[in-house]
Amino acid sequence: MSLPFLIIAFVTLFAAAAAMSLRNLVHCSLAFVVAFAGLAALYLNLGAQFVGFAQILVYVGAIAILIVFAILLTRSGDTPNEAVLAPGWFYGIAVSAVVFTLLGWAVLNSSALPKEVSAAPQTTVKNIGEALMNKYVLPLEIIGLLLTAAMIGAVIIALKEPSQTDHSGRKT
Amino acid sequence: MTPLQICLLVSALLFAIGFAGAVTRRHAILALVGIELMLNAANLNFIAFWRYGAHPEALTGVMFVIFSIAIAAAEAAVGLALVIAIYRHYKTSNLDEVKDLKG
């Protein structure tokens, strides 16, 4: 395994851990951007150029902006004074440690994984485009429909509620 | 360790970090970010198996990741819209205080 891969993987994991543990949400979203840019670099390192650039466009470009807007609209940009972890946080961390241990044990002891390293596949964007337009054209259309439905749904959900009493009886 | 195993270990660790964050943080946005991290760990697995597995010319792993990224974008848009709607309704985005349906 090449040294660049290990360095990028370390940066990605460190940024992911920071995104999940920092107190200020704005810092969390910055660490989140670094983690997803690192993942895109990992995809490029593994030879999947198209996926790497799609990752940068979608995650670093779109989802990070969405998250920053959500932080802005929910007015949670300040560092909170109360606890940021849920009351049962210890069990959550214990369960995730168990999950990692089991996955790691399975990966290290599995006999199903191929032992020899195959040559790097020669994939161009032309191959991907041909596959998308021939073999995978129906899933592509369905994804387009799903994205349209999700966009309309997100706009409708986030619309201002009509004036009514909220759950505590106040007028909104 | 083979390169494939290193990739799988990295993605397992990423999944565990995302899971811990999604379960333990109280803020709704960070729970969503944790779910995104878990999705990306799965994507990294697909790319690793495409690169080091048999028949990379079939492009199955790459196609799966492209569709998975599109679905993750849709999920993030709807999820963040829900967070904003919950904030408007309850005046909080702390998941522990949203408990009207608690039995």
With respect to residue B26, please indicate whether it lies within any of the assigned structural domains.
yes
With respect to residue B86, please indicate whether it lies within any of the assigned structural domains.
yes
d(CA A128, CA B69): 15
> What average pLDDT is seen over chain B?
89
pLDDT of residue A152: 94
pLDDT, one tens digit per residue, over B18-64 is 999 999 988 889 999 999 999 999 999 999 999 888 888 888 889 99
pLDDT of residue A164: 60
Average pLDDT for consecutive 10-residue bins of chain A (172 residues)? 88 93 90 94 91 92 91 81 79 93 91 77 84 92 94 89 60 51
With respect to residue B101, please indicate whether it lies within any of the assigned structural domains.
no
Query: Which two three-digit tokens encode residue A101?
Result: 């241990």
d(CA A57, CA A42): 15
Contacting residues of A for B13, CB less than 8 Å apart: 13, 100
What does the domain layout of chain A look like in residue ranges? Answer: 1-79, 123-161
With respect to residue B14, please indicate whether it lies within any of the assigned structural domains.
yes
pLDDT band at B95 (very low <50, low <70, confident <90, very high): confident
CA distances from B15 to A46, A115, B6, B28, B59 (A): 19, 24, 14, 18, 24
Q: pTM for this structure?
A: 0.88
Contacting residues of A for B30, CB less than 8 Å apart: 20, 25, 28
Of all residues in chain B, the one with the smallest CA distance to A89 is: B24
ipTM of the prediction: 0.89
Domain that holds residue B13: 3-91
pLDDT of residue A166: 54
d(CA A17, CA A35): 9
Contacting residues of B for A13, CB less than 8 Å apart: 10, 13-14, 17
With respect to residue B96, please indicate whether it lies within any of the assigned structural domains.
no
**B98 in reach of chain A (CB within 8 A):** no
pLDDT of residue A163: 65
The CATH number of the domain holding residue B34 is: 1.10.287.3510
Are B41 and B86 spatial neighbours (Cβ–Cβ below 8 Å)?
Answer: no
Q: Does domain A1-79 have CATH number 3.40.50.10420?
A: no
Residue A167 phi/psi, 5-degree rounding, is -65, -20
